[in-house]
C-alpha cells in the first residue's frame, strides 16, 4: 500500500511479517501497528501495510484468545 496512512484504529496486515495489528498512527516514514489485545507497537514501511481482510482479523483474534486461554498472554 502506498499513499496516506490507513485510518487510526483500523486493522491492517504487515505483509513483511504476516502479523495483523491495529493502526496507531504514523511516526516519520513508518506506520505503527499494535497487536490485537495490546502490547508493544512495531513499525512498518508504508508499502508493506494493507487493510486486513475479515478472515485475517478473525484469525488474529482467535489466535490471541487461544493464547490468552493458555496463559501465554495476560
- As a whole number of angstroms, the distance between CA 50 and CA 12 comes to 5
* Percent of the chain whose pLDDT exceeds 70: 95
Secondary structure class of 55 (helix, strand, coil) = helix
* pTM metric for this prediction: 0.85
Question: What would the pLDDT profile of 5-50 be if each residue is shown by its tens digit?
Answer: 789 999 999 999 999 999 999 999 999 999 998 899 999 999 999 9
Question: What would the pLDDT profile of 48-68 be if each residue is shown by its tens digit?
Answer: 999 999 999 999 999 999 999
User: Which burial class, exposed, middle or buried, applies to 34 when counting CB atoms under 10 A from its CB (0-12, 13-18, 19+)?
Assistant: middle
- As a whole number of angstroms, the distance between CA 30 and CA 64 comes to 25
Strand order in the sheet with 42-44: 42-44, 30-35, 19-27, 11-14, 49-51
Amino acid at each position: 500500500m502506498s499513499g496516506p496512512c490507513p485510518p487510526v484504529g483500523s486493522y491492517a496486515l504487515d505483509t513483511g511479517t504476516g502479523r495483523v495489528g491495529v493502526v496507531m498512527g504514523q511516526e516519520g516514514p513508518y506506520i505503527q501497528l499494535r497487536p490485537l489485545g495490546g502490547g508493544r507497537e512495531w513499525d512498518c514501511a508504508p508499502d508493506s501495510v494493507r487493510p486486513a481482510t475479515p478472515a485475517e482479523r478473525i484469525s488474529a483474534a482467535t489466535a490471541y484468545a487461544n493464547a490468552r486461554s493458555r496463559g501465554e498472554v495476560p
